[in-house]
Amino acid sequence: MDHFRTIVSMTSKTPQMGLYDKILTLGSCFAHSMGQRMLASKMAVMANPFGVLYNPHAIHKALRYAIFNEMPPPQTFLQHHDVFLNYDFHSEISALEPEKLRQTLKQVIGSAHYFLRDTPWLILTYGTAWSYIRKDTGEHVANCHKMPGQDFDKVLVPEREIVDSFDALYRELMTFNPNLKIILTVSPVRHVKDTLELNSVSKAVLRTACHTLSTTHENVDYFPAYELMIDDLRDYRYYKADLIHPTEVAEDYIWQHFGQRYFSDALKKFTDQWNNIRAALEHRPFHTASKAHQRFLHETLKKLEALQATVPLEKEIAFVKSQLLP
């Protein structure tokens, strides 16, 4: 046998990301994780500005707020104990005063609106096809915010409904930003609270929906993050202690495949250089005044100064200079 694991093919029909391309990520905690890696790589990314969103309806609704730069309607606001929240956003977007929450949402939606207007890349990560619908309004929510369970109906959103919702959103996105390219992913994080059986049903719905969308829209691509985790890594050593979330090693592996598939040659070259420098910056010596470490600092400073015309590195250069002896 040539291989002792399942190799996931990395083919793509989309153009490649450049170093200065803006990227917007939305969706589950996996989208947040990948967005943070982009930020660490000095890429121009806005990572999950609305907080973690799991189901397609919530993700699509948040994008519509951004497209039209509109505030959520009054019925979506609520108070839980002394905290004010909104059903269409994660609980990290909250406040102790209703006006403060509105100001925060206005700022977040406005920032996403202007970022989305000229970004060439949008990455959406669907986490689950299960959704909660308010009994009083019939609206899908992004988060129940620990309100009583009897206030909601839990439903499995069918593939056709996800596809129709995306198609309507797609038309609005293309009118707003005709140059936009969209990457769809299914989160490899399992929702075991739904039971493993129903989690499998949910992921299957999401995967078939993504397949339909990526094969019917020229500028929509699917990245197999789910398959890399479930079929390629396929071992509990790649899961955290909760046996649900991928470890940093697993996320790094998926991130490497993402770069191989989508990054331009120039971006690959830069990220290789930057990863070496970042590893050097994370080095913590026992004796900062030693001759060996001072030489190391001077070498690192030269590398930073060679790259500072490419990306902003003022903070990193100042950090290295602060350790140099006079």
pLDDT in tens, 215-248: 999 899 999 999 999 988 888 888 889 888 889 9
Identify the residue with better confidence: 3 or 289: 289
- Look up residue 320 and give its DSSP letter: H
- Which residues, in sequence order, are CB contacts of 245 under 8 Å at separation 6+? 29, 189, 239
Please compute, for residue 121, the number of CA atoms within 13 A of its CA located in the half-sphere on the CB side.
24
Question: How much of the chain, in percent, has pLDDT values that exceed 70?
Answer: 98
The CATH classification of domain 22-264, taken from the options 3.30.1180.10, 3.40.50.80, 3.40.50.1110, 3.40.250.10: 3.40.50.1110
pLDDT in tens, 40-72: 999 999 999 999 999 999 999 999 999 999 999
pLDDT in tens, 298-307: 888 898 888 8
Find the helix packing angle between 196-216 and 159-176, rounded to 10°.
40
Confidence of residue 111 (pLDDT cuts 50, 70, 90): very high
User: In the prediction, which pLDDT does 279 show?
Assistant: 86
- Which residues, in sequence order, are CB contacts of 290 under 8 Å at separation 6+? none
Bridge partners, residue 152, by sequence: 134
Question: How much of the chain, in percent, has pLDDT values that exceed 90?
Answer: 66
pLDDT in tens, 162-188: 999 999 999 999 999 999 999 999 999
pLDDT at 1 over 50: no
Q: Which residue has tokens 């019925």?
A: 75
Confidence of residue 132 (pLDDT cuts 50, 70, 90): very high
Q: Helix, strand or coil for residue 67?
A: helix
Confidence (pTM) = 0.91
* Sheet order of strands, 44-47 included: 44-47, 22-27, 121-126, 181-186, 220-222
Long-range contacts from 175-179, C-beta under 8 angstroms, 24+ separation = 176/67, 176/116, 176/117, 177/116, 177/117, 177/118, 177/119, 179/120
